[in-house]
Structure 1
Amino acid sequence: MSTPDLNLLVTLDVLLAEGSVARAARRLGLSPSAMSRALARLRETTGDPLLVRAGRGLVPTPRALELRESVGRLVQEAEAALRPSETLNLKQLVRIFTLRTREGFVENFGPELIARIAEQAPGVRLYFTQKLDKDSTPLRDGTIDLETGVVGDDTGPELRAQALFRDRFIGVVRRGHSLSEGVMTPARYAAGQHILVSRRGLKKGEIDEELERLGLERQIATIVGSFSAALALARASDLIVSVPERYTGNLRVDMHSFALPVPTSDVAISLLWHPRLDADPAHRWLRGCIRDVCAERRADLSARFEAG
């Protein structure tokens, strides 16, 4: 049995990442014809077409999807093994990192993260961009370096993930609201006028399902697409809003927060990145900074909730 050409692993990794013979050729510095020949060799070696035409583009076969994570990991490990050993000099590091996050992350974790990075690596800059969907393409193509979010079925299978913190939903009203005093009960909570936060325009959520089990129904006065808009409305009215505790810590300063009187599911917020950056020293350092800042904020936000 002939020994496979291990150089094909690099070619396969780039092809699967780009999904295009022309783009892969440009990235590897090859002609389109040379890349086409390499794809033909890959098909012969694996016994699978790997990329098949769909309209004007190419889509991966199930076998290609199965290979994508393992091939990427092998290439990354090989590059790390062959890379000269060097110590990361943070004081001389000059780099821009792009982080894609949901609203609330920058407001709550941004100041500490920026201060930590400025102290350790003054030449590093952070660019925060808003996370409007769960499309993993920006991580794959290198448009962004990291993102925060909930790992789910629609998360790219090859992505690396590490848990940052767990979050729970709480109720929030303005200072002086009738719900800021006394014992909170499901009936008392449901009797008020509520703001529902839904980017997809849903009219009900988990809280409504739990209230229905108790024979209760809350009145939704309005639906908005962001936590910041919902909290601004609640701050200026008698409306009640339910938001994730840790993600909205700084957004609900000087408001009254309370534990919801019905059970709701916690959400695990994770840090996501593409495996090609797994061994990058600067990227590893930044991931550590984000993890540390999120961990340090836990006690502070819990104290604010108790005081609220």
Structure 2
Amino acid sequence: MNPPDLNLLLTLDVLLSEGSVAGAARRLRLSPSAMSRALARLRDATGDPLLVRAGRGLVPTPRALELRGQVGPLVEQALAALRPAIALDLCRLERIFTLRSSEGFVETFGATLITRAAAQAPGVRLRFMAKPERDSTPLRDGTVDLETGVVGPDLGPELRVQALFRDRFVGVVRPGHPLLDGPITAQAYASASHVAVTRVRPDKGPVDRALQALGLERRVAAFVGGYAGALAVARGSDLVATVSARHTQGLRAGMVAFDLPFDIPAVTVSLLWHPRLDADPAHRWLRGLVRAVCGDDPLAETDGSVHS
């Protein structure tokens, strides 16, 4: 079965409003013969004559009267959907945006994002979701409006990506840790006991590969699933946690962070969203807000000295 021609909805709306083929033809700027052919197609589509002769004019059938109350709103909604979007009024905007990110994002950026959003758009609420894996399904199905993360090779090609900030790894220990008693060399770092972050299974990550290139290997005493767990363990023990610097700024208050004494590549944290939201004015405002809050001074977290 062929789908109906939805252009006929507009024709039907005008016909039912005018009650005349000639009047409908004038409104739609069609010839009377073209309008008559359109009426014939409508009759075929609906299985009803719609307009029947009564004296010198046409009168609607019961089916036409039933359709009159349905077709008008449908046409108006369709026309509204095809009009250009009106200017965004942040003072009147009421919407809940869902942001998905790795742990540490809310602790570091959440308060500032919420405060700035409330100042510009009081009716907007932000909902933060954890990101236990890199599955992009929530973006595709509309569960999530915006996501932050490091783009991997498995990212779907249809998603939009915009770099947000650069981040690098730092070592973190509790105040008074023995590692702070002397120069933090690669040998001293590797000789300490460590808590490592791994989401799936214990594996060799970039830190271990960098040490291996120097002929060193660190001793990992514990594995945890995220930065918050690693920092909690390091805070209460002599284990060293190695974490993303900017992402964990809000998680490691009161601890001591230091630059790693060997080279390890920085990572780019990006914004990700589905292309259906590209032109949405409210979503564009949200993206700009996140960039303004998170994109400033991306590598100022460490300067080569020990921080507390």
Decide: shared fold, TM above 0.5.
yes
Distance 1:307 1:223, change over 3 A: closer
Query: Aligned runs of 1:145-224 on 2, under 5 Å?
Result: 145-224=145-224
Q: Name 1:254's counterpart in structure 2.
A: 254
Counterpart contact for 1:172–1:243, Cα < 8 Å: yes
Q: Name 2:84's counterpart in structure 1.
A: 84
Q: Deviations over 1:199-235 (max 9, x none)?
A: 1122422222222222222111111111101101101
Distance 1:89 1:304, change over 3 A: farther
Q: Deviations over 1:161-217 (max 9, x none)?
A: 110001101101000112224321111111111111101122422222222222222
1:251 alignment partner, SS class? coil
For the pair 1:239 / 2:229, whether they are aligned, the reply is no
Counterpart contact for 1:201–1:225, Cα < 8 Å: no
Distance 1:144 1:198, change over 3 A: same
Counterpart contact for 2:258–2:302, Cα < 8 Å: no
Aligned residue identity for 1:221: A
Aligned residue identity for 1:191: S
Distance 1:304 1:146, change over 3 A: farther
Task: Please state which structure has a larger fraction of its residues in helix.
Answer: 1
Q: Deviations over 1:89-127 (max 9, x none)?
A: 101100011111110111101000000001000100011
Counterpart contact for 2:166–2:299, Cα < 8 Å: no
Q: Name 2:42's counterpart in structure 1.
A: none
Counterpart contact for 1:228–1:251, Cα < 8 Å: yes
Distance 1:258 1:307, change over 3 A: closer
Aligned residue identity for 1:224: V
Counterpart contact for 2:197–2:223, Cα < 8 Å: yes
Q: Deviations over 1:23-72 (max 9, x none)?
A: xxxxxxxxxxxxxxxxxxxxxxxxxxxxxxxxxxxxxxxxxxxxxxxxxx
1:83: Cα distance to partner? 2.8
Q: Distance in 1 between matches of 2:80 and 2:266?
A: 37
Q: Name 2:93's counterpart in structure 1.
A: 93
Q: Distance in 2 between matches of 1:256 and 1:283?
A: 38
Q: Distance in 2 between matches of 1:259 and 1:96?
A: 39
TM value normalised by structure 1: 0.70
Counterpart contact for 1:168–1:245, Cα < 8 Å: yes
Counterpart contact for 1:158–1:274, Cα < 8 Å: yes
Aligned residue identity for 1:195: V
Distance 1:98 1:226, change over 3 A: same
Distance 1:274 1:280, change over 3 A: same
1:307: Cα distance to partner? 3.6
1:296 alignment partner, SS class? coil
Aligned residues: 233
TM value normalised by structure 2: 0.70
Aligned residue identity for 1:198: T
Q: Where does the alignment leave 5 or more consecutive residues of structure 1 unmatched?
A: 8-78
Q: Where does the alignment leave 5 or more consecutive residues of structure 2 unmatched?
A: 8-78
1:234 alignment partner, SS class? helix
Counterpart contact for 2:256–2:306, Cα < 8 Å: no
1:243 alignment partner, SS class? strand
Q: Distance in 2 between matches of 1:178 and 1:158?
A: 49
Q: Distance in 2 between matches of 1:95 and 1:211?
A: 48
Q: Distance in 1 between matches of 2:207 and 2:141?
A: 38
Give the greater-gyration-radius structure (CA): 2
Q: Tell me which moved more, 97-106 or 177-186.
A: 177-186
Aligned residue identity for 2:94: V
Q: Distance in 1 between matches of 2:247 and 2:168?
A: 9
Q: Distance in 2 between matches of 1:110 and 1:149?
A: 15
Query: Aligned runs of 1:87-166 on 2, under 5 Å?
Result: 87-166=87-166
Q: Distance in 1 between matches of 2:80 and 2:161?
A: 20
Q: Distance in 2 between matches of 1:268 and 1:277?
A: 22
Q: Name 2:267's counterpart in structure 1.
A: 267
RMSD: 2.5
Q: Name 2:19's counterpart in structure 1.
A: none
